[in-house]
Chains A and B, each alone.
Chain A
Amino acid sequence: MARNTHILKSSYFDSVVLMRVASQLKKQDDISEVAMFMGTEGNHDLLAQVGLTTVKSRAAGPQDLIVIVVADSEERAESTTQDALSMLTDRNAGQDNELDYRPRTLDAALGFLPDANLAALSIPGEFAAREASKCIDKGLNVFLFSDNVALADEISLKKKARRKNLLFMGPDCGTAYINGVGLGFANIIKSGRIGCIAASGTGLQAVVCELDRLGEGVSHAIGVGGRDLSSEVGGLMTTYSLELLEQDPATEVIILLSKPPSADVVKALEALCSEFSTPVVSCFQGAELPGNTFIQTATLDEAAATAVCRVNGREHVPVPFNLPDRISDLLEERGNKAAGKRVVGLFTGGTLAKEAQLLLSKELGPVAKSFEEHAGHIVVDLGDDQYTIGRPHPMISPEIRTEQLIELAETGDLADCGVVLVDLVLGKGSHLDPAQELVESIETLRKRRQLSAEIVAVVIGTPEDPQDIAAQISVLDAAGITVFRSNSEAARYVAMLAAPACRENYMKEAS
């Protein structure tokens, strides 16, 4: 193995760009590692943690780019380093040709767009609070995509935003829609009468895609950050967003999505919403509230379907499957092949993983949430911080799932697996062909590792998304992967494969 370290002095590159280039170059067989980081303190720690620090890399400062390539030969390590540098400089050259002005300061940016009303921030978390604070001072609403923002900073930024009647979406806000315009990881959906407030990115994506599939659209969808409904943050942005949507003439029904909120926040939300003329459909993942202020739903799909019925003046009657005949046919075909075997869920969306865990554990008993737990069934959120250190999120780069599948196969952990459950989240910002990436890895495992488990995939997206959802589903179908558009239906189907005892109940409810 040969290792090459190159330092590019005084050149700032965005971490997502660096990770994309690195992951593209790492796909070559004779390249075992490509690490590209700015020389910040945190990145030096990270390099040390993964054993890649070199004498040369230690000398790099926060404004310098470190490129480390580990390859089969010195020539390949050197040539791949040069490839990396060309890919980055090509990108920058392209930017220069665009002739658009890129101000260095917020004041200069406001000089060019004086009536700007929103700042979208996706910079490293350690600097995000400082920049967001400056944006609020200038009267800008904030969409904060960055994560790793301290809780104390979140609270003080949200308080400041509220004092100025500004929205502060985030931190770690993946998706939002304002007046029909998608921000971040957004699916292309219809505009309409349903307003959403979400403390979860992929949960929001699943709901807006289901609304779109049911023929309805979204007025606005406000992301509030995963901690907003904790007692520390106290629902500062959720309560403000609820008031805004209640006053919004385009919004006829509100959907509120979150992990179970803290008890004091629930009280505040109930007190507020009990005065509303707009109905609020809630989905609090596993929590059932005693009151009836909210129209409570158990799953993301049910929340969407309930809201659609509400705007059309109908009551919604939830069913476990919308097409029970398809499920009967599938079960008949599959028989009891997966009965009593392990279920392995590898998700890119955190809320989708959580929902699958809840539904599966109801029928199968304990479901582990991380590889370390090693017990029976497992559903892992591969977007969790522990799997994404120094790597792009698996929605951008699903190769991490391929690597996990191969590792599980190599350690024998797929030998007793009856079903593998995965998600593919489409939309702007996501990988452009996740189906192909998945199919290639499954076919390799079937050939080389005798993988015989049933593969079930839930696909979240719309026909207008850049990935072409129909084409993605055909690729999965052709590879013998069972596709669902609803996460809860996929999880229930998987439960029925592994635990045939629950089939009768579900099918009775569905018919």
Chain B
Amino acid sequence: MKPYQSLLQKPIRVINIGLESFSEDLRKAEIPVIQMDWRPPAGGDLRLVALLDSLAEEA
């Protein structure tokens, strides 16, 4: 078994994408956290999202 450098060996620093209450709980526990202002991509149109992703892959 190879030795790993992993998350378990470091203090956690979090990017929170979604529920704000998770950020609030982490802040209360004095954990560094950035709350993202996430919104559905391409106005939430899943077909358009898939199209954009395939264009990005080609590029």
Contacts and interface: CB of A to CB of B under 8 A. Distances in A.
Interface of A: 12, 14, 16-17, 38, 40-41, 61-63, 95, 100-104, 106, 109-110, 112-113, 115-124, 126-127, 130-131, 135, 140-141, 145-146, 165-167, 178-179, 181-184, 186, 219-220, 243-248, 272, 275, 428-429
B51 to A, nearest CB: 13
A110 to B, nearest CB: 7
| Closest 7 pairs (CB-CB, A-B) | A62-B44, A122-B18, A102-B37, A122-B19, A123-B18, A141-B7, A12-B39
A123 B17 contact: yes
A72 to B, nearest CB: 33
A167 B17 contact: no
A118 B17 contact: no
Contacts of A141: 7
B37 A103 contact: yes
Contact of B36 (A102, A146, A165, A243): A102
19 contacts: A12-B39, A14-B19, A38-B44, A95-B20, A116-B15, A116-B32, A116-B34, A118-B7, A118-B12, A120-B15, A122-B17, A122-B19, A122-B22, A124-B40, A146-B18, A179-B11, A181-B26, A186-B25, A275-B1
Contacts of A120: 14-18, 22
A186 B26 CA distance: 11
Contact of A167 (B6, B35, B45): B6
Interface of B: 1, 3-22, 25-26, 29, 31-41, 43-46, 49, 53
Nearest to A243: B1
Contacts of B3: 247
Nearest to A38: B44
A100 B18 contact: no
Nearest to A101: B34
A130 B53 contact: yes
Nearest to A180: B29
B38 A131 contact: yes
A113 B11 CA distance: 13
A90 B19 CA distance: 17
Nearest to B11: A179
Given A100-B35, A246-B1, A115 B13 contact: yes
Contacts of A165: 4-6
Contacts of B45: 62
B36 A117 contact: no
A109 B35 CA distance: 8
Contact of A62 (B13, B15, B31, B43): B43
A131 B13 CA distance: 18
Nearest to A166: B7
Given A130-B41, A130-B53, A429-B21, A117 B35 contact: no
Given A145-B19, A179-B8, A63 B43 contact: yes
Nearest to A131: B17
A243 B6 CA distance: 11
B2 to A, nearest CB: 8
B7 A167 contact: yes
B52 to A, nearest CB: 10
Contacts of B6: 165, 167, 244
Contact of B15 (A109, A122, A429): A109
A290 B37 CA distance: 50
A24 to B, nearest CB: 15
Contacts of A184: 22
B40 A127 contact: yes
Nearest to B50: A130
Contact of A103 (B33, B34, B46): B34
Nearest to A20: B21
Given A243-B4, A246-B1, A117 B12 contact: yes
B18 A14 contact: yes
A288 to B, nearest CB: 27
A183 B24 CA distance: 11
Given A103-B34, A127-B41, A131-B38, A116 B1 contact: no
Given A14-B18, A16-B19, A116-B13, A181 B29 contact: yes
A113 B37 contact: no
Given A113-B13, A127-B40, 8 more contacts: A100-B35, A120-B14, A120-B16, A121-B18, A145-B19, A167-B7, A179-B8, A428-B25
Contacts of B20: 14, 17, 95
Contacts of A246: 1
Contacts of A122: 17-19, 22
A61 B48 CA distance: 14
Nearest to B4: A165
A33 to B, nearest CB: 24
